[in-house]
A and B are shown apart, each in its own frame.
Chain A
Amino acid sequence: MEKFQDIAFEKEIPLTDHFLENGIYQLDFDLRTLFAHFRNHQTIDFVISGKVFPVTYRKDHAYFISLELKEMCQRLGLEAGARVRLIRRHSDFQRFYLSFPVQDQRLERVLNEFRMEADLPRFQASFDWVEESVLSNRLDQVWKKTAKPTNNSLDSLKDSLRYRFLHQVLEECDLVGLQGLQSVEHFPHQIRTVRKVLFDCAGRALLADEVGLGKTVEAGIVMREYLLRKQVHRILILTPASLTSQWQGELKGKFEFDFPVVDHPSQLEDSAHIIMSLDLAKSKFFSKKLLSQNFDLVIVDEAHKLKNRKTLNYRFVKALSSQFLLLLTATPIQNDLIELYNLVHLISPGSLGTMEQFRKRFIHPVNKKLPINPELLKRHLASHMIRNSRMETQLQLPPRRVVLKEVDPSPQELEVYNRLTAFVRENYYLVSRSAQGINQLTLMLLQKLAASSPWALRDSLDNLAQKEDLFHDIRLTLDEMARECHELATPTKFQITLKYLQEELKGEKVILFTQFRSTQKQLMKFLENHQLEVVDFHGEMTTKKKNKQIDKFRQDKQILVSTDCGAEGWNLQFARCMINFDLPWNPMKVEQRIGRIHRLGQTRDVTIINYCMKGTIEEHIVELLGQKIRLFERVVGELEMILGYMDSEWRKEENLEKKIMEIIVKHASPEEQRKELEKLGKGLLKASRAYEQVKKAQNVLLGDA
């Protein structure tokens, strides 16, 4: 037995059944003080006659664990209750020396066996990986299953084995899901990103591509890849409320994934794949449910909303249990470099050191947006953040030409428009709460229709006038207005469009966008009557029908007349010209229209034609969208960012529409309307500038062009 001259502490500890079975030794109070200076998870050396046995210390559970040491005791034939001497020496405070109640020769022989196995990897465990019992149960279940005979041949059996083998070879070096991605147009930078997420970032990454480079597609390919590798079963996608449907549509259209948008607790149990708004998910009721589940993949879109670690958003996402995590944002830094630190902390806690260390190493003491050592920071971020810029990817979009066509309505058209507006103004607040009045939504619809097409307005007025549950005098007025519409000749916008299509855009594929089905029907009829090749496209069509219509347009029709709902998520960049027959009051919808043709893959200059009907609200809206937020010049995707910088009341798109409606209703004179819209424009301008500043700072920090 080894003898030491410099013993600082010595204690006899009894072996326990638990230790001899699992290698876990629970520490009593005395022993805990002896281990006090070690850290949680620290590996401590236990030395037996010169041979070191690594032992992992779990401070949080007050035990140490070593399977190797357990095996040593078993080989020595020690039983529970046998007393082992635990010694600490003055000369070696970081180690423990063990002395066993067995003969030296026997101890030496067993130790030699261990030494011979020293070339094996170190055998240690500090976490409950596979409990033997779990494995045994699983195997028992396998054996109990009765196999069903099939008629496969030996060759097909061999092929199945070859398939399993080759699939694994492929998984180790390449993507397995690329081949089936026919409906997704993917670019080299996106594939590079997916590979990096899978092979370098272990499925946890901050995807920070510049706006418009396809972060959603990247996340979709990663998701598909993990699903094909069977590594992912439960998926949670968190987005702003305004984007849930867009995500749902994109995943369905591009990847054929059916993700329900969850807004009711019962849906949580039914589906393994979920899209939810972050605001709803973090609410008390939902968060409790979500935090009790284990997800395989969590995707957070617009992840800059997690920049502040004190917010509920941040704390909620941090507490989610998920093997893989993708955070998507084009602006990981907005005001302070610490925001980037916070995002990376979600991906890989502690990998950038503590906050103080990070501040000292990377943040400029005066200007918090400036890194002291950008190159070193980039190296640290390399395995957590992936950012593609337009410059790097060389994916510059071709120029966009915006044409504003002024439309002078006929005096009769203007009369109809003004009468309708006066009617709306009169009834908007008066009758909204009465069962026999027209509700505000219908009035808003009529107002929009009036600017879209008097023919479409006529049909709606006819329908409304038939409704018996409305006040009698309202029905009379509606009927009168409808009659005035019937007397109108071909509306000026229709004539201008026809002329434009027959002359300046002759032979060019053109997409005509309108908000309304009724306008679409009138346009179809009108253009067909003038022998133009037209095809329609709207949200009521099935996917199969939509595909057919797009094919027709691609192959032999000149004009596609589409509603906004119909075109969402479809790529039409084989055309390069679009006409906004009417202009939605919601700028996001205008951006979506532009996005159909001005997107990655477009190689030719794009032309966007807007109508501006004099004397109507459209005149001001064109100005608002065009001049204040320069919507028609921006990269698709930037508007969402700008709206994010608006005062909170304007962040919801529908509030913008309501505000415009209120301006129409409350202010009769065009001058007053212009002034009010000017105020709204200032808010948009401010948000736009704030976004520009952030973009600039981003470029400096992340080295974009």
Chain B
Amino acid sequence: MDLKVLYDKYRQDGVLDSSEFLLGENSGLYSMESQAITLLSKSEKTPLEFCCLGIEMDRPLRESHEVLAVHDGKSVKIVEDVLEFLDNYHSMEAIEETLESLEHSKPLRDELDKWSKSLFLKKKKEVHKQFLEDADRLSEYYHLSCSELSHRKKSVFFHNYYFEKEARIREEIDQLREEMREQEELLTLRYLPRFEIKVLFFGRTQKG
């Protein structure tokens, strides 16, 4: 089960053989621990420092993203095709270091913070439309239900048990208001985002 073949095929034809992919997944081969590494390149290259972030959102949208920030000694660049970046290196070594021990950890972090925030803002816009549709529908429903009840209140005016009937309808209207508040709260909760951010890997490059 070669992931590279599947990946390349998908990038080329846009077709994913899901059963092959799931077969590999069920064998429990794929996992990703955050790790500190040094990437080695045979060619002469400017030493870089980098940090890769994985963002997984499971509510209200299900999405996952990876982003790599690279510092070349002068400035930070954001790379969204992380695999393409890694293709420039032929091997890597694990190192025992923390993110703080990188010389440029602060600008790397700042840039990734900025990128993550802009991603969330973008997602917010996407979800907002759906939220408004749901909220409008709810609002419309309760608004109409209330006016239907108010109308009924007027129409029982000549009824023998007017006071009882009116009191019952008033109670129903109160219940409806209460229900509306409750449902709006529930709706807002359904759109509350839930996400997980992980440092997938970080480190530096060197000639090796």
Contact = CB atoms under 8 A, between A and B. Distances in A.
22 contacts: A39-B140, A40-B184, A41-B135, A56-B132, A60-B184, A138-B197, A146-B99, A147-B35, A147-B199, A160-B31, A160-B200, A161-B66, A162-B3, A162-B7, A164-B54, A166-B3, A170-B16, A179-B19, A229-B58, A321-B186, A354-B144, A357-B144
Interface string A148-166: 1111111001111111111
Interface in B131-188: 131-132, 135-145, 148, 179, 181-184, 186, 188
A281 B120 CA distance: 37
A403 B83 CA distance: 68
B39 A170 contact: no
A632 B39 CA distance: 71
B207 interface: no
A165 B139 CA distance: 39
A142 B189 contact: no
Looking at chain B's contact residues, is the secondary structure mostly helix, strand, loop, or mixed?
Answer: helix
Interface string B3-41: 110110010000010110111011000111111110100
Most buried by B among A56, A142, A318: A142
B117 interface: yes
Nearest to A169: B16
Interface string A101-141: 00000000000000000000111111111101001101100
Nearest to A128: B188
A76 B146 CA distance: 43
A647 interface: no
Contacts of B126: 121
Contacts of A318: 179, 182
Contacts of B189: 294, 321
Interface stretch (B42-50, B71-79, B86-94): B86-94
B103 interface: no
A160 B181 CA distance: 45
Contact of B92 (A40, A124, A154): A154
Contacts of A60: 181, 184
Interface residues of A, number: 72
A123 B37 CA distance: 40
Nearest to B86: A158
A180 B139 contact: no
A319 B21 CA distance: 40
A149 B128 contact: no
A30 B60 CA distance: 37
Interface of B: 3-4, 6-7, 10, 16, 18-19, 21-23, 25-26, 30-37, 39, 53-54, 56, 58-60, 62-64, 66, 82-83, 86, 89-92, 94-99, 109, 112-113, 116-117, 120, 124-128, 131-132, 135-145, 148, 179, 181-184, 186, 188-193, 195, 197-202
B59 A323 contact: yes
Interface stretch (A45-53, A211-219, A345-353, A427-435): A345-353
Contacts of A139: 109, 112-113, 116, 197
Interface of A: 39-43, 56, 60, 121-130, 132, 135-136, 138-139, 142-143, 145-154, 157-171, 173-174, 176, 178-180, 229-231, 294, 296, 318-319, 321, 323, 349-351, 353-357
A351 B136 CA distance: 11
Contacts of B137: 349-351
Contacts of B131: 126-127
Contacts of B198: 142
A127 to B, nearest CB: 5
Nearest to B33: A150
A353 B141 contact: yes
Given A130-B124, A159-B30, A154 B91 contact: yes
Name the 9 nearest CB pairs between A and B, nearest first: A350-B141, A179-B22, A160-B32, A149-B94, A162-B7, A163-B30, A154-B92, A147-B34, A41-B135
